[in-house]
Structure 1
């Protein structure tokens, strides 16, 4: 546990706690709005959380060579997390764009003049 200084440990642990809080808040926002794509974003955040926990675990045990597989797992989870977060962000953008298009088409329909006979 001596591999990192106390301030660095504070940053590592608080970052993990903040990430967990962000996952929970985004999931809750999805519940409130009823939009499933926010749930997808919160799920897409899990690989990055696993990667952060791998790094903290490796440092906690003073970076031993016997746990080098954690470094590989952490790197893999970072790549997977970046891919899942990118995909979730794209899905949110796509769904929001569709919603905007449907809203604008509905407002155009309501603004169309009606012929009075």
Structure 2
């Protein structure tokens, strides 16, 4: 544990965490702006649907600020992230409906199928917050599948970099789980947060994914502005 920062995190690790939070918020704002510029309400709604995850990140920061001693903060972040994943999923379904005019029942059927296929066995366990975390993961994966469907059908909504950024979150989660194992089982730390090197390395992947989403959204704005300028000539 480094003494150069606050709580369990070193100063560089705090920079990484705060950067992740800022980048997600900026990405949300850029997507909302793009929806406003194009006059597409459903894109604006998607930008707003990113806000719950942004709010949840502040609970994670608060959790680390208290040296990981107030578990309720982490539990609340998981609950908010579940709502955030559902919001992203519903916003994506809304975009698909606007694009294809397809009945919502078909998307509901897809959601039900994916939820059933990916339902973890521990859903019936006693720890409700573990269940919330797993459910949130399944909902987010369902969102990613529909996001690919949307991108294939309508490339005017998101850039490929933005879509890749959302998918890169899966890499962040996978590496975090692996690093958690290394930190607690192999390196003898109580939690991943106590292993500043592995914790910061894992969190840097989330920073990369959020940056990809934001840069992709900015590219889409510039592309629209360039196309509009050419049409006015």
State the TM bucket, normalised to the shorter chain. 0.7 to 0.9
Kindly indicate whether residue 44 of structure 2 is the aligned counterpart of residue 42 of structure 1: no
Q: Pick from 48, 63, 67: which aligns with 1:62?
A: 67
Counterpart position of 2:95: 92
RMSD of the alignment, in Å? 1.5
Q: Unpaired runs of 5+ in structure 1? A: 101-117
Mapped pair 1:19 → 2:51: no
Q: Please, which runs of 5 or more residues in structure 2 have no aligned partner?
A: 1-5, 102-152, 154-233
Query: Rg bigger for which structure?
Result: 1
Residue equivalent to 1:109:
none
Show the counterpart of 2:37. 32
Give the Cα–Cα distance (whole angstroms) in 1 for the partners of residues 73 and 47 of structure 2: 23
Partners of 1:41 and 1:90 lie apart in 2 by 10
* Separation in 1, partners of 2:11, 2:89: 33
Structure-2 residue corresponding to 1:103: none
Task: State the TM-score, normalizing by the size of structure 1.
Answer: 0.76
Q: 2:85 aligns with which of 67, 73, 82?
A: 82
Return the offset for 1:61: 2.2
After superposing on structure 2, the runs of 4+ consecutive aligned residues of structure 1 that deviate more than 3 Å are none
